[in-house]
Amino acid sequence: MASKFQQHQGFGVDAIQWRSQPDQQSSERTYNRTEVLDLANQDVTESYEFVASPVNEAEEIISAEMAELMADDAEIRQMRQEMLEGAA
Amino acid sequence: MIRSFLSRAVKLVSLAKPSIESLIDSESKIGGQIFGHASRGVTRRFFLDDGDSWFYSEKAVDTTNGRVLYSFTIRYEILPQGVLKSVDGRGHVFITGIELAHLKQAIKVYKRRIKEELYSPKETKPFQLVNQ
């Protein structure tokens, strides 16, 4: 059975947090990459879920936000350009 | 009378071919309105320049004597890694949290309002460009 880590390694994250669903408070722990790679070779049951580290989540969010802002800027510049071309 | 005619003629010529500067100037006036009612003597401008930077400027003048009480300009530069803020050209810092959320919200409102009030084909009234 493929582990959750193997399913998600396409994210290319540097640190991964494995969280036990039944008791999130007591079993929560962050593993470094070496430990995660060790974990990846083990069979991980469905009782564990993959959670990307907060740092990487923040980078993903910022990237998406900047893309959205740049798209807004481009749309405004396009409106200006159309007005200028229409008046020419 | 001749002066009035010439003044109107100059305006019409400038309206026929708006420049990027005149468009940004008109946008900045609309942008300055989206942050609520400004107190008497306070002027606000908010706009996207011809590059990738947003500017918010505010100036307060004592209406009794014309003395400038305060004036500042905030620049928000949109970069791939974040929004870099500086005030009057100093204190560069990437903004996060509420400030970033508010900027994003302001840009959405700005885009909608200039589209409706300045660039909408049905609503476009050339005189708005200079007489606002």
| Mean of the per-residue pLDDT values of chain A | 60
Q: How do beta strands A16-20 and B90-94 pair?
A: unpaired
Distance CA B103, CA A11 (A): 29
CA A48/CA B104 separation, integer angstroms: 36
Which residues 59-88 of chain A have a CB within 8 Å of chain B?
A: 62-63, 65-66, 68-70, 72-73, 75-77, 79-80, 82-84, 87-88
Beta bridge partners of B72: B58
ipTM for the whole complex: 0.77
Chain A partners of B52 at a C-beta cutoff of 8 Å? Answer: 70, 73
Token pair of B3 as six digits:
């002066």
Closest CB to B78 among A63, A66, A79: A66
**Does residue B1 have a pLDDT over 90?**
no
pLDDT (tens digit per residue) in B59-87: 999 999 999 999 999 999 999 889 999 99
